[in-house]
Chains A and B, each alone.
Chain A
């Protein structure tokens, strides 16, 4: 049986781990909400500043999960953790910035262009954590727990031993991020079910 062993939710104002608020946006800060979270994590990873908001969202959620559950990554071989992510907006947030930048500067920006695909966040997570397992980024009409359940169970029955999965909704300042870890045979945790994924997505986990 498969279980959700930890989940992280980031909204426009809060960051929650397993339903517990761990960071709250400082509204009058000159720093962006994601930079506030990065500083709260006290990390030294300058590549964070180069990432677009979609990659930053995945990076921050994964780092909060690792902080909460440090042994997760090291419990598995580098090809045993699969990445399974989705959203509704694809990379539209960066696509629009790239289009505007091209229009304003009359030349394309390579550093923006490299983020004009949604699956780049998977590369960022793989590089950061040295993960070489299966990975998938889907663009869906809305948050679909049945997709994660079906695809996740297939991954977990065909070689992957754990999942880092979730929804990365980022567009025009709106943030709806919910990332969770799924593992096999972990007792006393939330079963990997549609109902429990919805709990992760609604601050109730």
Chain B
């Protein structure tokens, strides 16, 4: 699970072009879409949907599901694990 979270952070930094950010700068519980967290916006949400399909083979088709899944690194990792086990 920890390696999945590490991998997720790397993918987010690379795919969202957050080049000045390091894996250690993102806390597992930081809110991804909050100004007090990582500060992502709606454009980044699109990138996250593409990232989920491209790297984890998961299609996020339900907006409500995505809203909960993309809260933090922890929730994203949980979501991926749950989908893998379905």
Contact = CB atoms under 8 A, between A and B. Distances in A.
B39 A45 contact: yes
B20 A46 contact: no
A34 B46 CA distance: 27
A67 to B, nearest CB: 20
Contact of B35 (A31, A32, A47): A47
Given A47-B35, A101-B17, 15 more contacts: A31-B20, A35-B20, A44-B36, A46-B36, A46-B37, A46-B39, A49-B38, A107-B50, A109-B47, A110-B46, A110-B47, A111-B15, A111-B16, A111-B17, A111-B44
A112 B15 CA distance: 10
Interface of B: 15-21, 25, 35-41, 43-44, 46-47, 50
B43 A49 contact: no
Contacts of B36: 44, 46
Helix, strand, loop or mixed for chain A's interface?
A: helix
25 contacts: A31-B20, A32-B19, A34-B20, A35-B20, A44-B36, A46-B36, A46-B39, A47-B35, A49-B18, A50-B16, A50-B18, A50-B39, A50-B40, A50-B44, A97-B17, A107-B50, A109-B15, A109-B17, A110-B43, A110-B44, A110-B47, A111-B15, A111-B47, A112-B17, A114-B43
